[in-house]
Copies of this chain bind each other. A is one copy, B any other.
């Protein structure tokens, strides 16, 4: 049998238990050119909140009654595709369910001997790719620049900051709580960290970025984006990756009231979607894999267990009660 989490109703504000329905169905049958994946881990990402809204976006919303969309990694247990064999490990869009049908569209083989499986939905997966292309292609960081990143202890932010360090930047992270901030400076080598839950952000930025901000990688939006705008340098680049502070709003999103700082500072704010860089994922994963092996890039996964705990685990994205990449282990016990 296949346990699944379906979208039951669209949430207004923070998702509740009623947002989802849990169901159990027969194992899916595979067609020619398909394979059956027993899923080990699924990825929990802030972007998933956006997929619950019935609005035009970069990807269609999840429909009511559909399996909740999620990135995943697992093992092939049945196959009608010549290149994907039973025993191969793959990552793709398996959704929040124990078994998924895969095909060549969006599924890639991974090697569990090169890296632990969760890494393939973390730093070597979508969050890592988002960080890599966002900070290099959109942020266009240069050696010696000051880089600020929000959501800095998260799956994307922690990689953004470390890549900026590798490239010779001064890196400042914003995160919630002393534990995360200590992790940034002591373990990941950030030059400074600002605890948004306990510090005044503007004062913190003044101290941590004495020469202003050249690149701001924004995962959170809201007041932190506004504070960052007050400290940007001439020709600064702001990469808009997300706005987690606004995703559960019941009212309009808070626009950055300091956006005219872009004018004063001849600066830019640019949005991006990681899927646009799909043709270069392999190259990026190889470079990041090397950095990991060289000890220059650390990846931290915070792994919870059990598909039945999906809802509670998902909410940790928004409460911040997690450390690093949030992963749910759903491998069924047999």
Contacts and interface: CB of A to CB of B under 8 A. Distances in A.
Contact of A272 (B256, B259, B266): B266
Interface in A36-74: 56-58
Given A254-B255, A255-B254, A271 B276 contact: no
B255 A58 contact: no
Interface of A is mostly: loop
Contacts of A272: 263, 266
A270 B268 contact: yes
A240 B263 contact: yes
A267 B240 CA distance: 10
A306 to B, nearest CB: 32
A98 B260 CA distance: 33
B252 A257 contact: yes
Contacts of A254: 255, 257
Chain A interface residue bracket vs B: 20 to 34
Interface in A261-292: 261-273, 276
A100 interface: no
Contacts of A264: 56-58, 271, 273
Number of copies: 2
A31 interface: no
A2 interface: no
A226 interface: yes
A91 to B, nearest CB: 24
Nearest to A236: B271
A104 interface: no
A253 B262 contact: no
Interface string A230-261: 00000000001111001000001111111111
Nearest to A267: B271
A240 B255 contact: no
Given A241-B263, A263-B241, A263-B242, A258 B268 contact: no
A128 to B, nearest CB: 18
A57, A257, A258: which has the most chain B beta carbons within 10 Å?
A257
> Which of A242, A243, A260 has the most B CB atoms < 10 Å from its CB?
A260
A242 B263 CA distance: 8
Complex A-B, nearest 3 residue pairs according to Cβ-Cβ distance, in ascending order: A255-B255, A263-B271, A262-B271
Interface of A: 56-58, 221, 226, 240-243, 246, 252-273, 276
Given A255-B259, A265-B271, 17 more contacts: A240-B262, A241-B263, A242-B263, A253-B260, A255-B256, A255-B258, A256-B259, A261-B271, A262-B270, A263-B273, A264-B271, A266-B272, A266-B273, A266-B276, A268-B268, A268-B270, A269-B269
